[in-house]
């Protein structure tokens, strides 16, 4: 009887830890389920454009794990050894496509140069990706592309371009898009702002 009570006490003692571990795994798998969709999008993309989040999971898994641990209120040491198991097959498939493009795809310099807007975008890239280098940059537009509302009144205008980045802990360089925007209000244009940059890229050779 005493032995049975000891066993029951042990089960009660370790049950909360077991439940907590199961809860952590459930949260990990739930997050990876959404990431799997992002991985598949990269695989399906003609140029294998890959988001920053998926890149981090693929090339810096320990950093990705630490960031997720904070979100789910866990410690990285709580993660099971095979915590990426549910997406490993897709990560392997994506890595193969990235390797293929990274070794064969070449940078295509945009047709135009817009020094002011390009410098604005370059500054944003360097601040966002610590330790990165902008190897090349250019504009897809020679002049502002304007958008108007149904009454024909201007609403905003854009300069769009691309930059070739070398980001630490990535096996290849990558092309990323940038957009500088001005808004029209009160009869005049606002100051230029970088409306979009970063978030993911297309892997290619460093040139």
Which secondary structure element, helix H or strand E, spans residue 44, and what is its range?
helix 2-44
pTM for the whole structure: 0.85
Q: For residue 44, how far is the Cα from the chain centroid? A: 16
Examine the pLDDT at 179 and tell me if it is beyond 70: yes
DSSP run (H or E) holding 35: helix 2-44
Give the model confidence (pLDDT) of 86-101 as tens digits.
999 999 999 999 999 9
Which residue reads 């049950």 in tokens? 15
For 45-49, what is the mean pLDDT? 98
Confidence of residue 20 (pLDDT cuts 50, 70, 90): low
| Boundaries of every domain in the chain | 16-100, 115-204
């Amino acid at each position: 009887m005493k032995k049975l009570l000891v066993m029951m006490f042990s089960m009660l003692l370790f049950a909360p830890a077991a439940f907590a571990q199961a809860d952590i795994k459930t949260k990990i798998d739930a997050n990876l389920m959404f990431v799997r969709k992002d991985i598949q999008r990269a695989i399906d993309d003609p140029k294998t454009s890959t988001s920053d989040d998926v890149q981090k999971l693929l090339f810096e898994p320990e950093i990705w794990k630490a960031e997720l641990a904070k979100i789910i209120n866990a410690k990285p040491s709580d993660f099971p050894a095979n915590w990426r198991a549910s997406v490993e097959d897709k990560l392997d498939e994506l890595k193969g496509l990235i390797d293929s493009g990274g070794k064969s795809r070449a940078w295509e310099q945009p047709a135009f140069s817009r020094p002011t807007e390009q410098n604005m975008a370059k500054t944003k890239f360097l601040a966002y990706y610590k330790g990165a280098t902008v190897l090349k940059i250019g504009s897809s537009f020679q002049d502002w592309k304007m958008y108007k509302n149904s009454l024909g009144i201007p609403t905003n205008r854009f300069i769009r371009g691309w930059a070739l980045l070398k980001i630490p802990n990535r096996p290849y360089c990558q092309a990323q898009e940038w957009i500088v925007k001005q808004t029209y209000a009160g009869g005049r244009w606002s100051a230029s702002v970088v409306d979009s940059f970063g978030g993911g890229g297309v892997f290619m050779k460093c040139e």
